[in-house]
Structure 1
Amino acid sequence: MIVPRPIGWISSINHDGAFNLAPYSFFNAIASTPVCIIAFSSEGRKDSVAFIEETREFVWNMPTYALRDAMNASSAPLPRGTSEFAHAGLTPAPSTIVKAPRVAESPCALECRLIEIVTLNDVEGQQINNFLVLGQVVGVHIDDAYINDGRIDTAAMQPIARCGYADYAVVDTLFSIARPRGAGGDVTTSGVR
């Protein structure tokens, strides 16, 4: 019922130089100032978590409608050491700051350094097999074709989101609503929003 959920299409690398790429539907940005922090949760200790724990870095790649089949293919349970990039027909592109590659075909990517990995507990304090990964954004890649008048044209990128089951949604239409005074937005010189 919590839909649509943005997809954390996470690429990572281990100490031996092996790449991993996997989509996570428990993902979001959780802070924007003073630094941007993103988070995803893995149900089970998958390669993404293991690789990120080793190298302390990863990249979020935007999955789009055009990349929907490749994103889905990257979720296949492949044997360790098999490249999800190759399996999905994607190109690993070098990042600028971190060693983990980004998806060259994606219109934007966020390079991240690991803040922490939290093993989640239930209300009785018992550990569950879920791992929350928190990363600070240290680098940003945006295809210039999607920047208009200094703003990102999100609808033109057509990002996809998870809606549960095998259902997804595409963002292709935007609308604006002015927020009530004091509910956020620009801060005035007096410090009052």
Structure 2
Amino acid sequence: MFYLTADGSGLKIDPLSAIVSPRPIAWVSTRGVEGVNLAPYSFFNAVAYAPPQVILASVGSKPDRETGKDSLSNILETGEFCVNIAGYDDREALNQSSAPYPRGVSEIAALGLATEPCRVIACPRLAHAPAALECVLTQHIVLEGAGNHLVIARVEAIHLRDDCLNEGRFDVTRYRPLTRLGYSDFAAIDSVFRMKRPAL
């Protein structure tokens, strides 16, 4: 099969997100003038070490927002957000937090999730998250297409859950990272192997 993306695939659902998978999930907590918000984003990744930076894309819109979604509005308003990393045990709450709650409704409160304050930014983080990244916005780029936005942020501080540390390493097998595939499909990382970078 071959198709030009401008023409569409002819399939029932666009396969792009299934092709580019698995993708890490940023479970983003933000605070704005209307309160606290929590939502998952799978167009997310780390892109640099020094200084540490992440990217996050928000696609689509909400009928009760002029631009983008609640998380994006809060990020643009405050310049801050927290990326909470989700494990397999978080799957139901993470999925529920993607529901179209009205603006001003806290998904954290609605789902009864415990939080702790971040230390550098004025935003809550999920208390049980295996890791949490306190982020400060450095760039906002409006992408081609309706409702497509990219944010680039510097990671100012990192929280690691103590039971996820193993002999000086952050051990993903301790919490089974939750990843996004295509369609309504998710996966948890259950098999981990190491390969050292070869020397010539």
TM range (shorter): 0.7 to 0.9
The answer to whether the Cα contact below 8 Å between 1:113 and 1:137 also exists between their aligned partners in 2 is: yes
The answer to whether the Cα contact below 8 Å between 1:70 and 1:89 also exists between their aligned partners in 2 is: no
Other-structure match for 2:11: none
Question: Which of 21, 32, 36 is 1:19 aligned to?
Answer: 36
Q: Deviations over 1:122-170 (max 9, x none)?
A: xxxxx53200011100011001111111111111111100011111110
Structure 1: distance between partners of 2:152 and 2:111 = 26
Is 1:72 the counterpart of 2:110 in the alignment?
A: no
What is the TM-score of this pair, normalised by structure 1? Answer: 0.87
Q: Match for 2:148: what amino acid?
A: N
Q: Deviations over 1:171-190 (max 9, x none)?
A: 122101111226xxxxxxxx
Q: What aligned pairs does 1:113-192 form with structure 2 within 5 A after superposition? A: 113-121=136-144, 127-181=145-199
List gaps (5 residues or longer) in structure 2.
1-18, 61-67
Structure 2: distance between partners of 1:84 and 1:146 = 26
Is 1:40 the counterpart of 2:56 in the alignment?
A: yes
Q: Deviations over 1:74-106 (max 9, x none)?
A: 101011111110222212220011011111121
Q: Deviations over 1:9-44 (max 9, x none)?
A: 111111x26101100111110111x21101110013
SS at 1:70's partner residue?
helix
**After TM superposition, what 4+ stretches of structure 1 lie above 2 angstroms from structure 2?**
none
Other-structure match for 1:92: 115
The answer to whether the Cα contact below 8 Å between 2:128 and 2:161 also exists between their aligned partners in 1 is: no
Is 1:110 the counterpart of 2:126 in the alignment?
A: no
Structure 2: distance between partners of 1:71 and 1:105 = 13
The answer to whether the Cα contact below 8 Å between 1:10 and 1:61 also exists between their aligned partners in 2 is: yes
Cα RMSD of the aligned pairs, angstroms, is: 1.2
Structure 2: distance between partners of 1:175 and 1:67 = 24
Q: Deviations over 1:109-128 (max 9, x none)?
A: 0000001111002xxxxx53
Structure 1: distance between partners of 2:149 and 2:199 = 38
The answer to whether the Cα contact below 8 Å between 1:71 and 1:88 also exists between their aligned partners in 2 is: no
What is the TM-score of this pair, normalised by structure 2? Answer: 0.84
The answer to whether the Cα contact below 8 Å between 2:135 and 2:157 also exists between their aligned partners in 1 is: yes
The answer to whether the Cα contact below 8 Å between 1:11 and 1:61 also exists between their aligned partners in 2 is: yes
Question: Which of 4, 14, 28 is 2:45 aligned to?
Answer: 28
SS at 1:176's partner residue?
coil
SS at 2:94's partner residue?
helix
Other-structure match for 2:84: 61
Structure 2: distance between partners of 1:163 and 1:38 = 20
Identity of aligned residues (%): 43
The answer to whether the Cα contact below 8 Å between 1:28 and 1:39 also exists between their aligned partners in 2 is: yes
Q: How many residues align?
A: 175
